[in-house]
Structure 1
């Protein structure tokens, strides 16, 4: 992130400068420990093409642990880490961009958003026009809507609209084949199998899976949610074969990041498990994980790579190897407390209650940053209440630690992500 000229002095000052210079604002909301945030840093922010585009806008990074960050996030409807927003110079949102895109596709989506803004539009008027039929959208506006980050919308664009119904309505009127395909994938995921036509879903999915270009342009959706899409469609074996073929290509694509290639390997494993035993793929997963980790040196890439590796190993039935990866990573990680949560999950799968509480306790103690400490402390206290309700001394100690973290967070303890955490305790 060093090559990008990040603005300082607060978001209000950045927007004042944006109005003065008539430049858009690119906002990155994230946290040090967040694997997708680290992927964004390694695969998007480090790209020469993104760095070049960053000079057209004012870039601002809001860390969720910085003073007043959660109150600011509440004001601008930021919650999930990471959230990436492009604003017009007047402060209005142009669009929210999906963090899951690989670097090349993210830069293309950013270019499209800047071009749409230059033509006088943005996601909100484009959505309104599409739903009302008041005018025909440009190809750029359709691309903008199809690449909108619906997962981090927080009601900013949708308002009170239902996500699945809105996406289906867009698909019906979209005159761009690529945008319609992507919106259709989002719509299927949002519907989650409710009132779906399994045969129609299968046909739409096969059209994407079997088209190498179209599948590649939607790799972010398919890599993370392809399994869920197939579960709500007929012709399962055909779908598995088609998407498995695409995943095999991605797994060996040198131009993709190590994490994205490993995500493709994991997808192959999960797809195979839908239709047949996966024992034969275990060795392949283990070898690919070992190779990826051995070659990884960038700390940002490695953080998300370890997270992906652990998921892949667990999916392959190699839980012991996954735990070994986590333990080996603790001394070198810039956020070891994040991986301690994964070790707690491993202990839980083994039925090791003492191990669960030990790792959650270590994570809460090691966590850095007021919002992060508050979140980890809540997780630890809830685990104690659930797994060891009789341990009053330990619960009292955890409660005191949480009260200290609330005090350290100050007024920010009662905003956005912090408030959500404290509501868990109240419940």
Structure 2
């Protein structure tokens, strides 16, 4: 972690008590050492002097997913995805969850907005939905910059997200700062809806309903074009566009050629923006390549990826920045049809990486794509045995055993050895059945139940999981 910041760790309850006693908000970072987005945060946000300066007025707390009891705390505070960033008031109330994928400059702006908030995100949401009072521009901005991806039902059940976000976007005043908030809320709503146009259900006869649906689709496409085609607005929503822009176009159902052209231009501007990290700029280059499949400009796109990867890798040496850069580079090379180069890059990075076991999972996935079962299982096993941290080891042990059952169910000695070791890891962990651990063990329990004649160790592990999940 960034040395300029005095991160607290250990007893979260005591940290809340300290925050209350000194009258400081608490900034919570939930993450793991191997997680690429976490490493991006460390390199691009936490390392900034401006961020460290703001932390001097707060109580920064680092909850490592592999710390003792961390998964139980995560369940209590509704944390799951790595990373999750939460700002609490000195009184312990949750103010908001911050989007981790904003670039450093925009993240600081979102943090400042949250620090100056007169209401929590929950209070603003309740007022907006109940129409009990008009929201200030800053409140609309706070809701648009809320990390809905990591909400975990804290503000809204997942099933309600599409409709509620669409209502918020429609209720946001269409001018000034609120126009920007409305645009981002519409993007959030469309991503949450996975392509469905969310709004009031069409009424009347079938032809009227069809016309209303067509009008809603056209309006959604118009909104996308406004965001894609506005340099400032596209940059403000770059996190959504690079991750979900291709799907937003696929789902639009209208004016796709225009949308592809506009997003391709935005991606080119992102890739040339010197304010962005090389990792973020490479993500933009990857977006250009993905747009080719929807009819975007194809001239030398694959070679652009290859040259951009080489240039970025030659320059980036910081271990956190390089970890996330390599992860992006591997995805980009695979998208460009250069799977051999992606695998070679992963192999080359293993000796110098601070989390080589993460890249071993990627090597397992590469072997699986080419149908090499021994190599797939070999890399999964290496990743498990090299993993650092009790939760990571437990989760990746479960991933390994699930893969063995899927790909080599007849290999009883291998299944038995892994089952025995995983059972020991479960017994040693105080929060084996909590949060991310629980998710992985539930999947493993389902796979163990599929074994026709489980061995004694596999059978014992299945009974253990059945009794506790």
Specify the TM-score bucket, using the shorter chain as the normaliser.
over 0.9
* Shift in Å, 1:354: 1.4
Contact 1:382 1:425 in 2 (8 A): yes
- Partners in 1 of 2:297 and 2:275 — Cα distance? 31
1:133 is displaced (CA, Å) by: 0.7
Bigger CA radius of gyration: 2
1:307 to 324, 327, 344: 327
Distance 2:334 2:388 in 1: 27
**Unaligned 5+ residue runs, structure 2?**
199-215, 447-469
Closer, same or farther: CA 295–22 of 1 in aligned 2, 3 Å: same
**Counterpart position of 1:6:** 7
* Cα distance, 1:279 vs structure 2: 7.1
Separation in structure 1 between the aligned mates of residue 163 and residue 172 of structure 2, nearest angstrom:
14
Q: Distance in 2 between matches of 1:276 and 1:71?
A: 46
Q: TM-score, normalization: structure 1?
A: 0.97
Could you tell me whether the CA contact under 8 Å between 2:66 and 2:390 is conserved in 1?
yes
Structure 1 vs Structure 2 CA RMSD:
1.3
Q: Where in structure 2 are the equivalents of 1:264-279 lying within 5 Å?
A: 264-275=284-295, 278=298
1:23-422 equivalent positions in 2, closer than 5 A:
23-116=24-117, 119=118, 121-159=119-157, 162-175=160-173, 176-195=178-197, 197-233=216-252, 234-275=254-295, 278=298, 280-409=300-429, 411-422=430-441
Distance 1:189 1:396, change over 3 A: same
Say if 1:375 and 1:278 are closer, same or farther in 2 by CA, change over 3 A: farther
Alpha-carbon offset, residue 194 of structure 1: 2.4
Structure 1: where are the runs of 5+ without partners?
none
Residue range with higher mean Cα deviation, 137-146 or 198-207: 198-207
Inter-CA distance 10–190: structure 2 relative to 1 (3 Å threshold): same
- The 1:313–1:90 alpha-carbon spacing in structure 2 relative to 1, beyond 3 Å, is same
The runs of at least 4 aligned residues of structure 1 exceeding 6 Å deviation read: none
CA pair 51-209 structure 1, distance change in 2 beyond 3 A: same
Does the Cα contact within 8 Å between 2:197 and 2:217 map onto a contact in 1? no
Distance 1:415 1:374, change over 3 A: same
Q: Is the 8 A contact 1:29 1:62 kept in 2?
A: yes
TM value normalised by structure 2: 0.88
The Cα shift of 1:110 comes to: 0.4
Query: Is the Cα contact below 8 Å between 2:31 and 2:63 reproduced in 1?
Result: yes
Distance change >3 Å, CA 367–CA 309, structure 1 → 2: same
- Secondary structure of the residue aligned to 1:414 is coil
Segment of structure 1 superposing worse, 265-274 or 277-286? 277-286
Question: Cα offset for 1:173?
Answer: 0.5
